[in-house]
Structure 1
Amino acid sequence: DGQVAIEISDYDEKDRELEGIIALQVHRGPAMKVQFKDMAIKVLDKKDETNGDVGAVPNWIWPEDAPAETTVVFSKEFNVPGNRVGGVRLSGTADNSYEFSVNGKKVLSGGDWQKVSGTDIRANVRNGKNKLQVKVRNSGGPGGLIARLEIELPDKSVKAIVSDSTWLASVDGGANVAPKILGKAGISPWTVVTTKSFDEAVQLRTAGATPAEEIQVAKGFKAELLYSVPQAAQGSWVNMCVVPDGSLIVSDQYGQLYSVIPKGIQDATETSVTQLQLDIGEAQGLVWAFDSLYVVVNKGQKYDSGVYRVTDADNDGTLDTVKQLISLTGGGEHGPHAVVPTPDGSGLVVVCGNQTKMIEMQTSLVPQTWDEDLILPRTYGRGFMRGVPAPGGYIFQMDQNGENRKLIATGFRNQFDAAFNRYGDLFTYDADMEWDVNTPWYRPTRVCHVTAGAEFGWRNGSGKWPSYMPDSLPSIVDIGPGSPTGIAFGYGTAFPAKYQEALYICDWSYGKMYAVHLAADGTTYTGKLEEFVSASPLPLTDVVVNPVDKALYFAIGGRRVKSGLYRVTYIGEESTNPAAQRLFVRNAREQLESTFLSDTPDDRLELAL
């Protein structure tokens, strides 16, 4: 209607394409008709190149009336967004000699004004306010400084800060004054210094795993980047477990398993990663138990879905034998996920998302009466996973050989992981259906107390049970939109007692790890959320406690994004002594469950009566 709706400006003279086609993206969905109106291309004049655009042209600057032989200190404050990614490139030169410092640390120097020097200063900047200083010594003749600072942002655009009259200059220790702009790059007498000189001075660093200094952690804690995963060689990590010697085993979502010895474990001075020579991978569940590695595969490109046991058959200290214990049918990212040891050491619990077909169970604590129990016509929205029947995601228990399977709970959407607290209670972090946001049947991501025989009421579309239904349990705490991944209790960490007792849950989409502080509520719990770790990007995939160094480890990755391994330690002043165990009022439920879980039919009949 005569109003400009979208305007895109390309100031990247070096990399822009001036030939080809312009493609317009339309989001997927039902067939539709889309019209674009009044498209036009405008060629910008050189005068449109401004401070703040990639490729912005820097200026030669100098204080007016400064002596021919003098020392001038230039300064410029700049802000770095907390969610930046990529490199921070500094380039410049000065007549005659110069020294660049960032936040008080020398980063660049030179004595030949004809050569533009450059470096990536990513390691020297911090989130928020930073200060750049340049000490320039002029030994006669014209003096001048020219500089450019470029910050790569999360959307891969580049914010440029160039030398101009907004900088400050102090002549021979005097008061700060605004310098005079002498002209842009290429002016006389410095004609050899051009924009091309700046473009070639240093390339922006290829983005690696999110730097630790960009990660916000709770007060008193420190995050450390242990390893930035080379994507081409080792993929994108989605799962990990701790081995008794303190090493880790991790999995590439679409590739192999790797053994990781973190820095500081087994006297390692650097983190080392070695591929395991095993015919198994693509794991979304890993755990070390019963002197074996248990692997849960969610159908990938090579390995079939199911639960596998990997052992050292010849006792030479190297895993060498892979055996499938259970076949599970599930595809995409909604199939089988985590495997967790039971607290009593008798078996393992397997977590299955809502596209995992129910397998044969020897015992079921859940009444097997589930069905498509919505009386009114169902709304499917955009129809994702239409036709997938009740009961959706489920959790079952098995012994170390994959036998004596017992169905524990049903009705989840796509819970990725589970964790037991010190009292033997099981918890999981269940997913939402993000396309349902703002509909009456939207159910947010939430932490659930997985009681024996529970049915949480997931059904496709509008068919899911409301949380207030008496047939089900409400959540411990609702989080909101997100993508639940790994969870773990903080037991065994050298953290203050409050954080030792917390349940840590990872959200892949929003780059947040929450500490859920649980409180007794009758025979169940309520939870209070605390944002414990966050950054952008920070696609969290898994979290574990390493009992060897008593630290919390987490990984980022998944869906072929850049991956990394991190460690969180406590550096504050509070006591980190083991937390005193709190006794909850649990006798009534434990008495009921002891009969309910009994293998003796007479006991169950007595309970029913």
Structure 2
Amino acid sequence: MAIAIVAVGTLLLGIVAVWTVLKKPASQAVQTQASMPIVAPRAARVPVQRPQWIWTSEPNTQEAIFTRAFVLEQAAEVAALVVSVDNEATILLDGVEIAKSTKWEEPVEVNLAAQLGAGEHALEIRAKNEGAIAGVLVDLMIRDALGRTTQIVSDGSWLVVRGAERNAARVLAAHGAMPWGVLAAFDAHAVESTIVVPEGFSVELVMQVQRSVGSIVALESLPDGSLIASPQHGKLVRIFPASAAAPSRIETIDLPIGDAQGLAFFQRGNARHVYASVNSTGTVPSGLYRLRDEEADGTFESVELLRAIEEGGGEHGPHGVAVGKDGMVYLICGNHTPTVKFASSRVPQFWDEDFVLPRMWDPGGHAVGLLAPGGWLTRTDLDGEKFELLSIGMRNAYDFAFVDGEVVTFDSDMEWEMGTSWYRPARILHLASGADYGWRSGSSKFPTWYPDTNPELLDIGPASPTGMLACDGCFTNPKYAHAMLALDWTYGTIHALFIEPEGAGFKATREEFLSGKPLPLTDACIARDG
């Protein structure tokens, strides 16, 4: 099985991509990921080169032809070309037009695996400027069947063609420099070269998502092998990974729904449903939604709001959603989310602040005035008719997963409180039925030794918790087959959690499973295509 993970960057970093983690060498998996570069085994990699903006030695030149010849010892199995030209260009390979570039902000990406056989080749960029600054940026990553990589980037080795003359191109600046800044499509090679996984695992880049789509923060796999995803701000999309017959693509779902921070697929008879936890700042009301594909033909015909969550938008609003083996829909919400009307509650509904010493509110103004219950976990039937409150007192847990039918989450810390006696690190919690995990605003948090709260399974330390995933046998490696994965946005890390029963609860240990720099991770799911 494969695990799909999303790494998302801010506009500053500009990295938006989907990777898969597989328990097999990358060279065995290219049939399904042919359009994008694959992370080769480390011994076979060449150092990643950073492309440079180039132009002619005469800065006022408005039109120019750039060329770069190269030789391949063996035919390409994977070849991904990325080009940005300020302002526009025609792109040729071996004299044949392969693409056009019309907006430098949206780099052109081309799959060249079929065109790059063994032997001599030449890339040609016929560029045109429209006044002001001009530049050409190119990155071609090639990998052959032996896992050997060749990278061609724009730099001083390119030639400017003027009739019979050939002159060296002038380097303007490295990728990332102003006025262009960082373009997401060009950063994947640099990022993937830093990704570290355990021996025997490999990582493949599935797709780079254009910045115009937004920062993908929720991901779920569908039976046809595609992924449904949501940007933090924008409509839901479908991601179709590449096959041997077609390049990867992304399509917007034509329904009035977006801004989801949790997605969960469920097969109900012949119908296929996706539950969406919408955390909206205005696109649609926040709450729990259901998308319907009643014909099971891969098209969602309708969407319905099952339960609105008033004033529930923002970074501490509704988050993860999942369907448990009990056939109930579980939803977790951050500490700024007002509670909904519950038909029943495992938690006694007379919670209070319960502090002995006078409270010190956050001097920076964060969560001032917010009172119990803090973050909360609920579940409902498949039609969203009756909600039951299960546990409270988390700070801002983004996601959760199940172990033996019990809910485990990764709760966030408040980094401003580091060094105080009430600081609580990011931690792994078993959300026991009816439990209060003691978040109270400011200095009034429950210490873990309070008899009316439950202690953590693990302290992780400073972190920005995001997605969680129970492997449930998705890896053949017995060590990780039943591990739980917890993603950390800030430190670009996936923690492998090894959770075992102990008494009425669990005990846990952890190790670093995957890391990269930068690699701001947001979500993970198990692909259904094996």
Pairwise same-fold verdict (TM > 0.5)? yes
- Which of 437, 442, 456 is residue 437 of structure 2 equivalent to? 456
**Structure 2 CA distance for aligned equivalents of residues 477 and 213 of structure 1:** 30
Tell me if 1:404 matches 2:376. Answer: no
User: Once the 2 structures are TM-superposed, how far is the Cα of residue 513 of structure 1 from its aligned partner?
Assistant: 1.0
- Which of 250, 255, 273 is residue 229 of structure 2 equivalent to? 250
Question: 1:452 and 1:201, CA in 2 relative to 1: closer, same or farther beyond 3 A?
Answer: closer
User: Once the 2 structures are TM-superposed, how far is the Cα of residue 523 of structure 1 from its aligned partner?
Assistant: 2.7
Asked if structure 2 preserves the Cα contact closer than 8 Å seen for 1:488 and 1:544, the reply is yes
- Which of 337, 351, 359 is residue 370 of structure 1 equivalent to? 351
One-letter amino acid matched to 1:407: L
Tell me if 1:235 matches 2:235. Answer: no
Aligned to 2:395: 413
- Which of 334, 337, 349 is residue 356 of structure 1 equivalent to? 337
Tell me if 1:274 matches 2:274. Answer: no
Deviation digits for residues 571-596 of structure 1 (CA, Å, limit 9, x no counterpart)? xxxxxxxxxxxxxxxxxxxxxxxxxx
Deviation digits for residues 10-39 of structure 1 (CA, Å, limit 9, x no counterpart)? xxxxxxxxxxxxxxxxxxxxxxxxxxxxxx
Asked if structure 2 preserves the Cα contact closer than 8 Å seen for 1:492 and 1:545, the reply is no
One-letter amino acid matched to 1:385: A
Tell me if 1:210 matches 2:188. Answer: yes
Tell me if 1:475 matches 2:456. Answer: yes
TM-score, normalised to structure 2, is 0.66
Question: 1:206 and 1:521, CA in 2 relative to 1: closer, same or farther beyond 3 A?
Answer: same
Comparing 384-393 and 367-376, the one that deviates more: 367-376
Question: 1:201 and 1:529, CA in 2 relative to 1: closer, same or farther beyond 3 A?
Answer: closer
Tell me if 1:199 matches 2:180. Answer: no
- Which of 366, 369, 377 is residue 384 of structure 1 equivalent to? 366
Aligned to 2:103: none
Asked if structure 1 preserves the Cα contact closer than 8 Å seen for 2:53 and 2:171, the reply is no
Aligned to 2:102: none
Asked if structure 2 preserves the Cα contact closer than 8 Å seen for 1:88 and 1:122, the reply is no
Asked if structure 1 preserves the Cα contact closer than 8 Å seen for 2:274 and 2:291, the reply is yes
One-letter amino acid matched to 1:334: H
Asked if structure 1 preserves the Cα contact closer than 8 Å seen for 2:346 and 2:434, the reply is yes
Q: How does 1:281-320 map to 2 (within 5 A)?
A: 281-289=258-266, 290=268, 291-312=272-293, 317-320=298-301
Tell me if 1:263 matches 2:239. Answer: no
User: Once the 2 structures are TM-superposed, how far is the Cα of residue 300 of structure 1 from its aligned partner?
Assistant: 2.1
Aligned to 1:339: 321
Gaps of 5+ in 2: 1-44, 56-67, 77-117, 123-135, 144-149, 158-165, 177-181
Paired residue secondary structure (2:305): strand
TM-score, normalised to structure 1, is 0.58
- Which of 203, 210, 221 is residue 223 of structure 1 equivalent to? 203
Asked if structure 2 preserves the Cα contact closer than 8 Å seen for 1:119 and 1:202, the reply is no
One-letter amino acid matched to 2:326: D
Gaps of 5+ in 1: 1-81, 93-97, 111-117, 126-131, 133-146, 150-191, 550-609
**Structure 1 CA distance for aligned equivalents of residues 174 and 319 of structure 2:** 44
Query: In angstroms, what is the RMSD of aligned CA positions?
Result: 3.7
Question: 1:202 and 1:506, CA in 2 relative to 1: closer, same or farther beyond 3 A?
Answer: closer
Asked if structure 1 preserves the Cα contact closer than 8 Å seen for 2:342 and 2:387, the reply is yes
One-letter amino acid matched to 2:250: V
Bigger relative CO (Cα 8 Å, ≥ 6 apart): 2
**Structure 2 CA distance for aligned equivalents of residues 90 and 253 of structure 1:** 31
User: Once the 2 structures are TM-superposed, how far is the Cα of residue 547 of structure 1 from its aligned partner?
Assistant: 3.3
**Structure 2 CA distance for aligned equivalents of residues 201 and 298 of structure 1:** 40
User: Once the 2 structures are TM-superposed, how far is the Cα of residue 342 of structure 1 from its aligned partner?
Assistant: 1.4
**Structure 2 CA distance for aligned equivalents of residues 526 and 101 of structure 1:** 56
Tell me if 1:541 matches 2:518. Answer: no
User: Once the 2 structures are TM-superposed, how far is the Cα of residue 311 of structure 1 from its aligned partner?
Assistant: 1.4
One-letter amino acid matched to 1:216: V
Q: How does 1:72-87 map to 2 (within 5 A)?
A: 87=50
Question: 1:99 and 1:244, CA in 2 relative to 1: closer, same or farther beyond 3 A?
Answer: closer
Deviation digits for residues 433-458 of structure 1 (CA, Å, limit 9, x no counterpart)? 11111111110111101111111000
Paired residue secondary structure (2:350): coil
Question: 1:207 and 1:258, CA in 2 relative to 1: closer, same or farther beyond 3 A?
Answer: closer
User: Once the 2 structures are TM-superposed, how far is the Cα of residue 292 of structure 1 from its aligned partner?
Assistant: 1.2
Aligned to 1:74: none
Compare the two structures and name the one with the higher strand fraction. Answer: 2
**Structure 2 CA distance for aligned equivalents of residues 496 and 519 of structure 1:** 18
- Which of 292, 304, 310 is residue 323 of structure 1 equivalent to? 304
Paired residue secondary structure (2:170): helix
Q: How does 1:81-100 map to 2 (within 5 A)?
A: 87-89=50-52
**Structure 2 CA distance for aligned equivalents of residues 203 and 341 of structure 1:** 43
One-letter amino acid matched to 1:210: A
**Structure 2 CA distance for aligned equivalents of residues 435 and 394 of structure 1:** 22
Deviation digits for residues 155-191 of structure 1 (CA, Å, limit 9, x no counterpart)? xxxxxxxxxxxxxxxxxxxxxxxxxxxxxxxxxxxxx
Q: Which has the larger Rg?
A: 1
Asked if structure 2 preserves the Cα contact closer than 8 Å seen for 1:107 and 1:121, the reply is no
